[in-house]
Amino acid sequence: MERTAVRRRLTWQAGTVTEIREETATARTIVLDLPDWPGHLAGQHLDVRLTAPDGYRASRSYSIASAWTGSTIELTVEQVPDGEVSPYLVDVLKVGDPLEVRGPVGGWFVWRPDSAGPIQLIGGGSGVVPLMAMLREHAHASSTAPARLLYSVRRPTSVIYAADLKKLAMSDDVDLTFVYTREAPPGEPRVGRVDAELLAAKAFAPTDDLTTYVCGPTPFVEAVADLLVAAGHDPARVRTERFGPTGGPR
Amino acid sequence: MTADVPTYLDGNAAAGALSEVFAVDLTAAIGRCAGCGHTGVFAEVRLYTAAPGLVARCPGCDDVLLRVVTTPSETYLDLRGLTYLRVSNS
* Contact predicate A175/A160, CB 8 Å: no
3-state SS, residue A57: strand
Chain B residues in contact with A242 by the CB 8 A cut-off are 8-10, 12-13
* CB hemisphere CA count around B76 (13 angstroms): 10
| Within-domain flag for B44 | yes
Note whether A62 and A172 are same-domain residues: no
Rounded distance between C-alpha atoms, residue B82 and residue A201, angstroms: 41
Backbone angles phi, psi at A176, to 5 degrees: -125, 130
Collect all residues with Cβ–Cβ distance below 8 Å to B36 and sequence separation of at least 6. B58, B60, B61, B63
Residues A123 and A239 in one domain: yes
**What is the tally of structural domains in chain A?**
2
A68 and A124 part of one domain: no
Domain-embedded: residue A204:
yes
Given an 8 Å threshold on Cβ–Cβ distance, is A102 in contact with B16?
Answer: yes
pLDDT for A46 beyond 90: yes
Which DSSP symbol is given to B40?
Answer: E
Residue B3 resides in a domain: no
Tell whether A89 and A126 lie within a shared domain. no
Q: What is the dihedral of CA A115, A166, A239, B47, to 10 degrees?
A: 130
Sheet hosting strand A174-180, strand order edge to edge: A174-180, A147-153, A119-124, A211-216, A238-242
Q: In chain B, what is the straight-line distance between the N-terminal and C-terminal CA atoms, in Å?
A: 43
Our count of domains for chain B comes to 1
Query: Would you say residue B4 lies in a domain?
Result: no
Rounded-to-integer distance, Cα B67 and Cα B69, Å: 7
Mean pLDDT of A73-101: 93
* Contact at CB, B27 and A105, closer than 8 angstroms: yes
Q: Per the domain annotation, does A225 fall within a domain?
A: yes
**CB environment A81-93: b (16+ within 10 A), e (fewer):** eebebbebbbeeb
In terms of CA atoms, which chain B residue is nearest residue A110?
A: B28
* Cα dihedral value A35, A27, A168, A236, nearest 10: 80
Q: How many A/B residue pairs have CB atoms within 8 Å?
A: 82
Tell me the C-alpha to C-alpha distance, in Å, between residue A75 and each of A20, A33, A103, B85: 10, 11, 12, 31
pLDDT at A84 over 90: no
Q: B41-55, pLDDT tens digit by residue?
A: 999 999 998 878 999
Apex A48 CA angle, A46 and A54, nearest 5? 160
Structural domain harbouring A37:
2-104
Q: Are residues A166 and A198 in the same domain?
A: yes
Does residue A89 sit in the same domain as residue A53?
yes
What CATH number is associated with residue A230? 3.40.50.80
CA-to-CA distance for A15 and A11, rounded, in angstroms?
A: 13
Which range of residues forms the domain containing residue B28?
9-86
Instruction: Look at residues A45, A78, A104 and tell me which one is the last residue of a structural domain.
Output: A104
H helices, E strands: number in chain B:
1, 8
Q: B2 lies in a domain?
A: no
Inside any domain, residue A111: no
What CATH number is associated with residue A32?
Answer: 2.40.30.10
pLDDT at A119: 98
**Same domain, yes or no, for A100 and A125?**
no
d(C-alpha A224, C-alpha A195), whole Å: 8
Residues A98 and A139 in one domain: no
What is the pLDDT, as a whole number, of residue B4? Answer: 60
Residue A221 sits in the same domain as residue A126: yes
Mean pLDDT, chain A, integer: 92
pTM of the complete model: 0.92
Indicate whether A126 belongs to any domain: yes
Q: Work out whether the CA dihedral A145, A235, A153, A28 comes out positive or negative.
A: negative
B8 interaction partners in chain A (CB closer than 8 Å): 218, 242
Are A140 and A168 found together in one domain? yes
Q: Is A63 contained in some domain?
A: yes
List pLDDT tens digits, range A155-200.
999 999 999 999 999 999 999 999 999 999 988 778 899 999 999 9
Scan residues 8-27 of B and list those with Cβ closer than 8 Å to A: 8-13, 15-17, 19-20, 23-25, 27
- Do A239 and A124 share a domain, yes or no? yes
Mean pLDDT in residue range B10-29: 92
Q: Are A128 and A238 found together in one domain?
A: yes
